[in-house]
A and B are shown apart, each in its own frame.
Chain A
Amino acid sequence: MGRKTPLYNKHLESKAKMVDFGGWDMPLHYGSQIQEHHQVRRDAGMFDVSHMTIIDLTGQRVREFLRYLLANDVERLKKIGKALYSCMLNEKGGVIDDLIVYLQNDNQFRMVVNAATRDKDIAWITQQAKPFQIQINERDDLTMLAVQGPVAREKVRDLLPENLQTSVKALAPFYATWNNGEFFVARTGYTGEEGFEIILPASKVSDFWEALLVAGVAPIGLGARDTLRLEAGMNLYGEDMDENNTPLESGLSWTVAFKPENRDFIGRRVLQAQRDKKEHQIMVGLILRDKGVLRAHQIVSIENGGKGQITSGTFSPTLGVSIAFARLPAGKYKDVTVTIRNKQLSAQVVKPPFVRHGKACIAS
Chain B
Amino acid sequence: MSEIPEDLKYSESHEWVRLEEDGIVTIGITDHAQEALGDLVFVELPNKGNILNTEDACGVVESVKAASDIFSPITGEVIEVNLTVPDAPELVNESPYGKGWLFKLKPTENSDLDKLLAYDGYERFLEAEE
Contact = CB atoms under 8 A, between A and B. Distances in A.
User: Are A and B part of the same complex?
Assistant: yes
Contacts of B41: 34, 293, 315
A29 B35 CA distance: 11
Interface string B61-73: 0101101000000
B42 A293 contact: yes
B46 interface: no
A136 to B, nearest CB: 36
A223 B42 contact: no
B38 A293 contact: no
B42 A341 contact: no
B109 to A, nearest CB: 29
Contacts of B62: 292-293, 315
Contact of B38 (A223, A295, A322, A341): A223
B70 to A, nearest CB: 13
B39 interface: yes
B56 to A, nearest CB: 15
Interface residues of B, number: 13
Interface string B104-121: 000000000000000000
A41 B60 CA distance: 29
A291 B67 contact: no
A74 to B, nearest CB: 36
Contacts, number: 39
A301 interface: no
A322 B60 CA distance: 16
A267 to B, nearest CB: 33
Given A223-B38, A315-B42, A34 B64 contact: yes
Interface string B33-45: 0000011011010
Interface string A301-317: 00000000000001101
A142 B44 CA distance: 46
A220 to B, nearest CB: 13
A32 interface: yes
Nearest to B67: A293
B94 to A, nearest CB: 10
B64 A223 contact: yes
A220 B90 CA distance: 19
A291 B42 contact: yes
Contacts of A314: 64-65
A28 B36 CA distance: 11
A322 B65 CA distance: 12
Nearest to B57: A341
A28 B39 CA distance: 12
A209 to B, nearest CB: 23
Nearest to A315: B41
A188 to B, nearest CB: 25
Interface centre among B38, B65, B67 (most CB of A within 10 A): B65
Contacts of A292: 42, 44, 62
Given A223-B65, A293-B62, A33 B38 contact: yes
Nearest to A227: B64
A33 B44 CA distance: 21
Given A295-B67, A314-B64, A33 B39 contact: yes
Interface centre among B60, B64, B86, B93 (most CB of A within 10 A): B64
Nearest to A343: B44
B42 A33 contact: no
Interface centre among A28, A29, A33, A293 (most CB of B within 10 A): A293
Contacts of B39: 32-34
A28 B64 CA distance: 12
A191 to B, nearest CB: 15
Interface string A129-145: 00000000000000000
A162 to B, nearest CB: 41
A151 to B, nearest CB: 24
Given A29-B38, A291-B86, A293-B42, A315 B60 contact: no
B60 A341 contact: yes
16 contacts: A28-B65, A32-B93, A34-B39, A34-B90, A223-B38, A291-B42, A291-B86, A292-B42, A293-B41, A293-B62, A293-B64, A314-B64, A314-B65, A315-B41, A315-B62, A315-B64
Interface of B: 38-39, 41-42, 44, 60, 62, 64-65, 67, 86, 90, 93
Given A29-B38, A292-B62, 11 more contacts: A28-B38, A28-B65, A32-B93, A227-B64, A291-B86, A293-B41, A293-B62, A293-B64, A293-B67, A314-B65, A315-B64
